[in-house]
Structure 1
C-alpha cells in the first residue's frame, strides 16, 4: 500500500476513536501518558502496542509478528497486517485497547 492511502486509513481509524488524536508530521503516531501506542512509519506499516499476552494472541490470531521501526524491534508492538486495515471497527477496538494499556503504565 502506498503512504497516502495508509495515512488516510490511519487517520480514519484514529478519528473514530475517543480520547486521543494523531500526532506527528513525518512519523505519525498516537500517544498518551508519556507513551506512544500506535505508529505509522514511512514504509506504510502500522504498529500497535499491546500487553505481552495480548500481543502474543494478536500475532497468532492474525498471522503476523513484531513491529520494526527503522530496523529496530519496537518493544510490545505488533505489526498490523494490511488485511485488517479495512475493518475500521476492529482496528478502532485495537487502537482503543492499546490506549487503555499505556494508561495503565507508570506515567513518564
Structure 2
C-alpha cells in the first residue's frame, strides 16, 4: 500500500516562490520539495506541510529563535542543527523575511564549496 501524497499548501508555496523570486541571485530548485542552494549547500527549503526551514549562522540563528520565539527545524524525526523553523506569520512578511534569506545566503556562500558529482 502506497503512502498518501502530501502536497504543500498552495498559499505557502506562492509565498516561498515570491520570497525567492525577489532576489535575482537565488534560484529555486526541487520539484516536489522546493529548496535553494549555492555551491552545493542548501540554505532554505519548504517542507511537505508548508513549513519553511532557513539555514543561519550560529549568531543569526540564536537571535532569530529568540526574536521570533521559534525553534530549530525538524525533518523526518531529526533536528536540523543549522536550520530554524520560520513562523507562518513571518513567511507572510516576505519583506522582513528577505533580510534573513540574505543572511542565510551570505552564510552559506562563505562555506567551502562541495565537490560536484558531474
Q: What TM-score results when the alignment is normalised by the length of structure 2?
A: 0.86
Residue 53 (str. 1) matches residue 59 (str. 2)? yes
Q: Secondary structure at the match of 1:31?
A: strand
- Equivalent in the alignment of 1:79: 85
Instruction: Tell me how far apart the structure 2 counterparts of residues 3 and 99 of structure 1 sit (CA, whole Å).
Output: 25
Structure 2's unaligned 5+ residue stretches are 1-7
Q: Which has the larger radius of gyration?
A: 2
Instruction: List per-residue Cα deviations over 1:2-28 (Å, max 9, x = no partner).
Output: 611110000000001131111001111
- Equivalent in the alignment of 2:98: 92
State the Cα distance separating 1:68 from its structure 2 match. Answer: 1.0
Q: Secondary structure at the match of 1:93?
A: helix
Structure 1's unaligned 5+ residue stretches are none
Q: Give structure 1 regions of 4+ aligned residues with deviation exceeding 3 angstroms.
A: none
Alignment partner of 2:33 out of 27, 35, 38: 27
Q: What TM-score results when the alignment is normalised by the length of structure 1?
A: 0.94
Question: Bigger relative contact order, structure 1 or 2, given CA contacts below 8 A and separation 6+?
Answer: 1
State the Cα distance separating 1:75 from its structure 2 match. Answer: 2.5
